[in-house]
Structure 1
Amino acid sequence: MDIPAQFFYQATMPKSESAIKTILSIGSECILPKHYDLYASDQIANMFFYIHSGSISIYHDMPDGKTLHILKLCQGNLFGISGALAYQFTNYRCYEVRYHTHSAVKLYKFSGDILRDHNFIMEHPDIISEILLQQSIKTFMMHNAFTQANSEAVLQSFCRLALRLYKENQSKDVFLGISQTELANRFGVHRTTLNRAIRKLKDLGVITACTRDGFVIGDVDRLSFFAAQADGGAKIVPHP
């Protein structure tokens, strides 16, 4: 699985051809409707899921009623692995985790028991290898999401992202590949909060134009300056 840096900035696991397709027959098929919320619960604590089609976002609901967008998962991705693996070793359950569908999603669900079955592990090293890789990448992405949401203001977060993409592509024309709503979710803020930050940067000449899925940098030096400033913690969006 080759994942360009762009997907880390978007907090999105891209589509992939999963090795688990070879064992779909031992799983159970289920269809979730669009905008459905699947909550972590005791009923699915010892299960993990494979996304056959569609996409799902992982949210973490906070005690104060707000929520934090963590990661978007597309076709070929797995989720629920950590809980399924740890099921027999702890009674802790992360009930604050919520899986939200962006469209009708076709899933295959599997018992976590197979992940602790030595015979299964020996017979399917390709699947175990893929699970390890997916979990490692998701850990990087989740760590980045929590770090940004808890330690950076949205203007600073936006400038840091813009500066990274500028340095990576050596171009002032920045293509994000996601909408402003998705970017706001990525930063854990309302879209209006992101729009205010972008408007301020435009007024200051830091960026000169904004499109539906990108923007143009006007002043790299000032962009670098704002990226290095700390102006408070990022907000978390209220639960819809």
Structure 2
Amino acid sequence: MRNESPIPSLRPNGSNNIWANILHLAARQAFPAGHPLELRGSALTDFYYIEKGRLLITYTSQNGRERPILTLGRGNIFNASTALTGFDNPDSQYLCLDDTVLWRFPGSLLTSPDFVRQYPELVINLMQSLGNKNLQMHETLSYTGPDAALVQLARWLSRMADNHGALSFRPGLTQQELADMLGVHRATLVRCIHALRAQGIVSRFTRNALDITDPAALRRIAEQ
């Protein structure tokens, strides 16, 4: 049975320590734990090396919910994608989880032919770093998509059926209350309920009455 996934974390990265060899090209910045890191203006198009501490990357969805995406530890590089492309996602935020020391590199380095020729090992390292982050964030987004909400709902229904010792019981929750408890938008919950009904897994699903009609199929979804 699949467990709740923790926030993916890119831990202290020794392979990125080669960036410490060119700190003379960067500017040192220090922030206390709990500090929200705001990248604006020219800071938005630069990239950063974490010498000390941890950063949490969060994303605010269209329904206003803030979702943790990735934790970056010492030795990691971040904001390189924005530095390379000039594209910023305004729904992404950074938070210093610990006292943090960063080194800010000019984003123009990444598009400089001279820099690429002089430091090819850094360019290779950066590509590996971007690949790792993409894989980790893809895993998070895959887990937090609509299928994950369906799995969450199926697990909750299975637990409730076990607690009641019956396949028909009174949930005692409105759809909004259940959505809040599961951490999903109400519209997502409604789509999941419709999907379970369409598959013949549940019939009635109201605050006062819930009938599970195919417990085996429900278990299969819950165990994903």
Structure 2: stretches of 5+ with no match in the other structure:
155-178, 184-217
Query: For residues 81 and 39 of structure 1, what CA distance do their matches in structure 2 show?
Result: 15
Query: For residues 101 and 146 of structure 1, what CA distance do their matches in structure 2 show?
Result: 22
Query: For residues 97 and 147 of structure 2, what CA distance do their matches in structure 1 show?
Result: 27
Question: Could you tell me which residue of structure 2 aligns to residue 14 of structure 1?
Answer: 11
Query: For residues 131 and 34 of structure 1, what CA distance do their matches in structure 2 show?
Result: 26
Question: Could you tell me which residue of structure 2 aligns to residue 166 of structure 1?
Answer: none
1:120 to 1:34, Cα distance in 2 relative to 1, 3 A: same
Query: For residues 35 and 151 of structure 2, what CA distance do their matches in structure 1 show?
Result: 33
Deviation, 1:10, is 4.7
Question: Could you tell me which residue of structure 1 aligns to residue 92 of structure 2?
Answer: 97
Query: For residues 126 and 24 of structure 1, what CA distance do their matches in structure 2 show?
Result: 15
Question: Could you tell me which residue of structure 2 aligns to residue 4 of structure 1?
Answer: none
Question: Could you tell me which residue of structure 2 aligns to residue 227 of structure 1?
Answer: 223
Is residue 36–residue 101 contact of structure 1 (8 Å, CA) maintained in 2?
yes
Structure 1 stretches of 4+ with a deviation exceeding 4 A read 222-225
Query: For residues 123 and 78 of structure 2, what CA distance do their matches in structure 1 show?
Result: 14
Q: Deviations over 1:48-75 (max 9, x none)?
A: 0000000001111234432111110000
TM normalised by structure 1 equals 0.59
User: 1:111 pairs with 106, 114, 117, which one?
Assistant: 106
Structure 1: stretches of 5+ with no match in the other structure:
1-7, 160-188, 195-221, 229-240
Deviation, 1:227, is 2.4
Q: Deviations over 1:65-102 (max 9, x none)?
A: 32111110000000000000112xxxx43121111111
Deviation, 1:224, is 6.5
Structure 1 residue 26 corresponds to structure 2 residue 25? yes
User: 2:126 pairs with 127, 131, 152, which one?
Assistant: 131
Report the AA paired with residue 29 of structure 1: R
Query: For residues 70 and 151 of structure 1, what CA distance do their matches in structure 2 show?
Result: 16
Pairs aligned (count): 161
Is residue 7–residue 69 contact of structure 2 (8 Å, CA) maintained in 1?
no
Is residue 52–residue 74 contact of structure 2 (8 Å, CA) maintained in 1?
yes
Query: For residues 224 and 41 of structure 1, what CA distance do their matches in structure 2 show?
Result: 47
TM normalised by structure 2 equals 0.63
Q: Deviations over 1:200-223 (max 9, x none)?
A: xxxxxxxxxxxxxxxxxxxxxx98
Query: For residues 38 and 119 of structure 2, what CA distance do their matches in structure 1 show?
Result: 29
Query: For residues 10 and 37 of structure 1, what CA distance do their matches in structure 2 show?
Result: 18
Is residue 37–residue 94 contact of structure 2 (8 Å, CA) maintained in 1?
yes
